[in-house]
A = this chain, B = another copy of it.
Amino acid sequence: MAASPLLNQLMTALRCLPGVGPKSAQRMTLHLLERDRNGAQRLVEALQTALDRIGHCRRCRDLSETDLCALCANPRRDRSLLCVIETPADVLAVEQSTGFQGLYFVLMGHLSPLDGIGPAELGLEALETRLDEGEIREIILATNPTVEGEATAYYIAELAHERGIRATRIAHGVPLGGELESVDGGTLAHAFAGRRDWRG
C-alpha cells in the first residue's frame, strides 16, 4: 500500500481536521479501512448531511439546521437578556455550565480590521435592528478577553448605550482552583481591579 493514490488522497483529506497531522491521518485511514468501515460510512453520511443542511439561524447567527434555531424558538427563554458571544462553541460552553436563560447573538468572529472583518461581517446591523425592537433590557458582552474581543465588546457596548440599554461584561479574574502564582499578569491585574466587597 506504500504508493496507493486513493489512500494518500484520504490521508490528505483527513488533515483538514484540527489537530490531525500526517501520523494521525495515517492511523485514522488504516483504522477506518481495516477495522471500522461501518463507522466510516456513517461518518460520510453524517458529514454530508451536516454540510447540506446546517446553515445559520436567521435571528442569532448560530449554526442551525432550521431557519430559527432551537434556542431562539424556545418561548421559555428570557427575551430581555441578550448574550453577545464570538462562536457556536462559546454558546455550547455557556449553555453547559451557567444556567443563563436569555438569548444569544453569535458574532462568528470578532472585529479585526486587518483581516477585513468589520461590523458588517459580524452582522452588527442585524444586532442594531434587534436592539431597536425594544425587547432587550440588558446586553451581556461575552466576547473573549483578547485585544480584538475587548475592542468588539467596546464597540457593541456603545451601540447599546446609544439606545439607553444596559451593557455588562462578564467578569475576568483568577479561575476557580487556579493558583495565583500560575496566573498570568494581565489576569491578576484584572482580578485586583475588579475586586468586590466580601459578603461574610
Chain A interface (Cβ < 8 Å from any Cβ of B): 1-7, 9-10, 12-14, 16-19, 24, 26-34, 36-37, 39-51, 53-54, 62-65, 69-71, 87-89, 91-92, 95-96, 108
Contact, CB under 8 Å: A62 / B27: no
**Given the known A-B contacts A2-B92, A87-B30, are A37 and B51 also in contact in the complex, defined by CB atoms under 8 Å?**
yes
Chain B residue with Cβ nearest A3: B70
Contact, CB under 8 Å: A43 / B13: yes
A16 and B42 CA atoms in complex are apart in Å by: 9
Contact, CB under 8 Å: A26 / B95: no
A87 and B71 CA atoms in complex are apart in Å by: 48
State the Cβ distance, A71 to closest chain B Cβ, in Å: 7
